[in-house]
Amino acid sequence: MRARLVPYLFLSPAMLMLTAFGILPLFVAAFVSFTNMNLAGLGNWSRIRFIGTTNYTELFSDEEFWQSLGNTAFFALIGVPGVIVLSLAVALMLNRGSGRFHRALRAFYFVPAITAIVAIALVWGYLYNTQFGLLNYLLSLIDVPPVQWLSDPLMAKFSVILVAVWRGTGLNIIIFLAALQAVPKEYLEAAEIDGANEWQRTIRVTVPLLKFAVLFVTITTIIAWLQFFDEPFVLTHGGPLGATTSVSLFLYNQGFAASQFGYASAGSVVLFLIIAVITALQLRSRRTNVDY
């Protein structure tokens, strides 16, 4: 009996944290989403009214919400493949050596992941600046007219994606590198003896063996991009004309700038459901596949 309880004892700290900061807030948000909770309601709970599904019907007729959903889809469709392909490619190349140079490179690629977002915003803000930015200066050397990196609605989307990809690869490179260490040398040797060249060994042996790492990175990256927030928040504040307002930023604006907590909670419940469905679909698709 006691032996059966031990695992739960070890799990309990994590479970407690998850319950207190993950599951409980979820239920509270679901509850709040049916009320008109705002700053006044926060000060005095007697002013909170149940308003049924009004928040949801308003949300679905809110153009800004749909724009932010569209933006988030755009970010994820470009950003997720970008991060995965780039970090896998870099990890494969870094894995080819273990000398001092390669170790230094690993640290180099990890730096963006641990740099404070405020510093990133400042530096990239200067790089992207239309008048004085380095990027436009370099372009001017080859007679390209100034690009409105953060002012043009479409360009701004790509600009924030670039920063996020640059920042997001570091951690995933480390995960892929760790998985690459676990690829058995025997398989690669056997393939080599069979006459497979390096490209074939990478594509046919190494990458399939990384399947679990790829799945893990894909799921976490998709979730991260659906919750895309930091880069547009610090670089563009969601502008120009809402072109870089992600769902999370929309919720933040509704919740913390406008104090419409009920409305924002309704939005966060919708976002949660979208993420839950997408993640469930991914896990399901994995189950049907063969394992090595």
Partner 1 sequence: MSRIKTMTVAAIAAATLAVGASGCASSPATSSGSSANPVSGPVTFWVMGDSATKFQDLVKPFTDETGIKVNAVAIPWDSIDQKFTTAVASGNGPDLLQIGISKLRNFADSGSLAPLQDKVGDYGSLAAENFIDGMAGDDTKVNGDTLSVPWVSDTRVLFYRSDILNANGITNPPATWDDLRSDAKKLTARGEGQFGYYVPQWDSALPVAMTWGQGGSVVNNDGKIDFNTPEFQKAVDLYTGLYGDKSVPTDSNFDQTQGFVSGATPMVVSGPYLAKAINDAAPELKGKWSATTLPAGETNTSLLAGSHIGMMANSAHQDSALKLLDYLSKPATQLEWFKINSELPAVKAALSDSSLSADPLNAVYAKQLENAKVLPLVPNWDGGVGKDMLKALNSIALTGSDRNSALEQLYKSTSDVSTK
Residues engaged in binding partner 1 (CB under 8 A): 21-22, 24-26, 28-29, 31-32, 37-40, 42-45, 47, 125, 128-132, 148, 150-151, 153, 164, 167-168, 224-225, 227-231, 236, 239-242, 248, 251-253, 255-259, 261, 264-265, 267-268
Cβ atoms of 264 and 244 closer than 8 Å: no
When the beta carbons of 78 and 240 are compared against partner 1, the nearer one is: 240
Shortest separation between residue 284's beta carbon and partner 1, angstroms: 23
Residue 50 DSSP SS3: strand
Q: Which of 73, 75, 103, 109 is nearest to 90 (CA)?
A: 109
Nearer to partner 1, 42 or 178 (CB): 42
Half-sphere exposure of 233 (CA within 13 A, CB side): 14
Q: Is 193 helix (H, G, I), strand (E, B) or coil?
A: helix
Q: Which of residues 95 and 149 has its CB atom nearest to partner 1 in the complex?
A: 149
Tokens of 182: 């676990």
Q: How far is the CB of 221 from partner 1 (least distance, A)?
A: 9
Place of tokens 């080599």: 192
The minimum distance between CB 226 and partner 1, in angstroms, equals 9
Residues 82 and 165 sit within 8 Å (Cβ to Cβ): yes
Please report how close the Cβ of residue 28 comes to partner 1 at its closest, in angstroms. 5
Q: Which one, 26 or 77, has the nearer CB to partner 1?
A: 26
By the 10 Å C-beta count (0-12 exposed, 13-18 middle, 19+ buried), 121 is classed as middle
49: left (phi over 0), alpha (psi -120 to 50) or beta: beta
> Whose Cβ is closer to partner 1: residue 95's or residue 260's?
260
List the end-to-end C-alpha distance of the chain, in Å, as a whole number. 36
Q: Which is nearer to partner 1, 109 or 128 (CB)?
A: 128
Tell me the closest approach of the beta carbon of residue 266 to partner 1, in angstroms.
10
Closest CB to partner 1 among 104 and 118?
118
**What is the closest distance, in whole angstroms, from the C-beta atom of residue 232 to partner 1 in the complex?**
10
Triad 179, 181, 182: Cα angle to 5°:
65
**Nearest distance from residue 176's CB to partner 1, in Å?**
18
CA atoms within a 13 Å half-sphere pointing along the CA-CB vector of 16: 6
Q: How far is CA 156 from the centre of its chain?
A: 18
Question: Which helix (H) or strand (E) element contains residue 60?
Answer: helix 54-60
Under 8 Å between Cβ of 244 and 238: yes
Which lies closer to partner 1 via its Cβ, residue 68 or residue 248? 248
Kindly state the smallest distance separating residue 240's Cβ from partner 1, in Å. Answer: 5
